[in-house]
């Protein structure tokens, strides 16, 4: 196993390489480090997203092969760090995205899509379904959050309201508008 590590990492340190040999040695490394990647993916990722995160682990392994320096220790440590760091980075990005974006029920989307299917009616639908049912302050909040893509911290500073209050306000506002669209 150690000899295999040395052979694979030595290849990736060469100046002249070919795509075919890159693919061959990467497949060798992938087969060798598949158990490590599996362990880390299962440790950090929810069940329904594991396949997607295996791709991130494979990319991290390739980056580790490119960046490995034999003077800094064995390749297995380098691979472990690269894979773990990549997975944690993607988990954090995914959590931040999920925190900022609220999923809409498919039924709500179907109802809204069924009402007006052409882009020219968007403003009319927006006016009728949203603007008519919210205050100016709520509309400004919705614009800041969804149109201007401000973070909660930026909106909090702008409106002078705590972040937790803004999150709760958004939940209530979305619930109210969703309930109204079902009527």
| CATH architecture group of domain 2-100 | Orthogonal Bundle (1.10)
What is the model's pLDDT at position 47?
Answer: 77
d(CA 23, CA 16): 14
* Three-state secondary-structure class, residue 14: coil
Domains 2-100 and 106-182 share a fold: no
Chain segment 127-165, per-residue pLDDT in tens: 777 777 888 888 888 888 877 888 889 999 988 999 999
Q: What CATH number matches the domain at 106-182, 1.10.238, 1.10.530, 1.10.10, 2.60.40?
A: 1.10.10
Give domain limits for the chain: 2-100, 106-182
Chain segment 97-126, per-residue pLDDT in tens: 877 776 666 655 555 555 545 555 666 766
Structure-model confidence comparison of residues 45 and 31, the more confident one: 31
Using the CB atoms, write b or e for 105-143: b if 16+ within 10 Å. Answer: eeeeeeeeeeeeeeeeeeeeeeeeebeeebeeebeebbe
| pLDDT (mean) for 43-50 | 81
**Can you give the pTM of this predicted structure?**
0.51
Q: Which tokens in the block code for residue 108?
A: 């709500």
């Amino acid at each position: 196993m150690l000899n295999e590590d040395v052979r694979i990492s030595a290849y990736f340190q060469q100046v002249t390489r070919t795509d075919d040999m890159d693919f061959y040695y990467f497949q060798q490394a992938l087969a060798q480090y598949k158990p490590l990647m599996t362990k880390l993916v299962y440790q950090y990722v929810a069940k329904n997203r594991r396949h997607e995160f295996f791709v991130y682990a494979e990319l991290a392994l390739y980056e580790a092969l490119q960046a490995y320096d034999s003077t800094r220790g064995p390749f297995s440590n380098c691979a472990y760090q690269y894979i773990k760091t990549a997975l944690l980075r993607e988990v954090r990005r995914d959590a931040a995205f999920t925190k900022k974006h609220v999923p809409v029920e498919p039924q709500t989307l179907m109802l809204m899509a069924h009402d007006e299917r052409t882009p020219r009616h968007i403003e009319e639908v927006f006016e009728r379904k949203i603007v008519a049912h919210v205050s100016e302050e709520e509309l400004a909040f919705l614009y800041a959050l969804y149109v201007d893509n401000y973070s909660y911290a930026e909106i909090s500073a702008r409106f002078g309201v705590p972040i937790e209050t803004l999150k709760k306000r958004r939940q209530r506002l979305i619930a109210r508008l969703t309930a109204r669209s079902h009527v």
